[in-house]
C-alpha cells in the first residue's frame, strides 16, 4: 500500500473510534468512554510511528502461512510426521515405565551359593565391577 492508503486507513479507523467513544460517553459513562478514547488514540499513534504498517505486514505473513498450511499437502505430511514422532516418544515413555525390572531370583531351594570376589575374601559380590571397586576400597583401607 502507498502512503495515501495508509493515511486513509488511519483516518478511517480514528473516526470510527471517535464515534464509538461518543456513543460510549452517552450510553455507558465516562469510564468506558475514556477507555474507548485511549484505544482510538492508538491508531494514529501506530500510523505516526510506522507500527500500523508493521502490524499489517505481520497479519499478511500469518495469513499467508495459514493459507499455505491449509492448502499444501506437503505441509500436512510434515505435520503428520511431527505428530507421529510425538506419539512414538510418548509410547516409548509409557512402555519404559511398564517394563518389568530385572531381579536376581534365588534358586527354589532358597540357598544360593555364595559368590567369591576377586580378592578371595569369601563375601558375596554383586557383579564383577562392584567386586573390583570393593577390592580397591579394601586395598586403601576403606570399608
Q: What is the pLDDT of residues 110-127, one digit of tens each?
A: 555 555 555 555 555 567
| Confidence (pLDDT) at 128 | 76
Q: What is the pLDDT of residues 128-139, one digit of tens each?
A: 778 888 888 888
| Confidence (pLDDT) at 114 | 54
| Confidence (pLDDT) at 136 | 84
Handedness of CA 12, 17, 18, 23 (dihedral sign): positive
Residue keyed to cell 473516526 = 15
Which cell is 128 given?
Answer: 564383577
Q: What is the pLDDT of residues 84-106, one digit of tens each?
A: 999 999 999 999 887 676 666 55
Q: What is the mean pLDDT of residues 13-41?
A: 95
In a 3-state reduction of DSSP, which class is residue 79? Answer: helix
Whole-angstrom distance, CA of residue 70 vs CA of residue 91? 28
DSSP H helical ranges for 28-119: 30-49, 51-71, 73-98
Q: What share of the chain in percent tops pLDDT 90?
A: 47
Q: Does residue 10 contact residue 44 with C-beta atoms inside 8 Å?
A: yes
| Confidence (pLDDT) at 52 | 84
| Confidence (pLDDT) at 135 | 84
- For the chain, helix (H) and strand (E) counts, in that order, are 5, 0
Q: What is the pLDDT of residues 67-84, one digit of tens each?
A: 887 888 888 899 999 999
Give the C-alpha distances (Å, rounded to integers) separating 43 from 34, 60, 90: 15, 18, 47
Q: What is the mean pLDDT of residues 15-25?
A: 95
Amino acid at each position: 500500500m502507498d502512503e495515501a492508503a495508509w493515511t486513509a486507513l488511519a483516518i478511517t479507523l480514528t473516526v470510527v473510534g471517535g464515534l464509538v467513544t461518543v456513543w460510549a460517553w452517552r450510553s455507558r459513562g465516562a469510564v468506558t468512554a475514556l477507555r474507548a478514547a485511549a484505544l482510538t488514540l492508538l491508531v494514529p499513534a501506530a500510523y505516526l510511528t510506522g507500527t500500523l504498517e508493521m502490524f499489517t505486514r505481520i497479519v499478511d505473513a500469518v495469513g499467508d502461512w495459514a493459507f499455505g498450511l491449509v492448502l499444501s499437502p506437503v505441509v500436512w505430511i510434515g505435520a503428520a510426521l511431527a505428530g507421529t514422532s510425538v506419539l512414538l516418544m510418548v509410547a516409548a515413555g509409557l512402555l519404559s515405565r511398564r517394563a518389568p525390572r530385572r531381579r536376581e531370583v534365588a534358586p527354589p531351594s532358597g540357598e544360593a551359593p555364595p559368590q567369591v570376589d576377586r580378592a578371595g575374601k569369601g563375601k558375596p559380590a554383586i557383579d564383577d565391577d562392584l567386586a573390583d571397586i570393593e577390592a580397591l576400597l579394601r586395598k586403601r583401607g576403606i570399608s
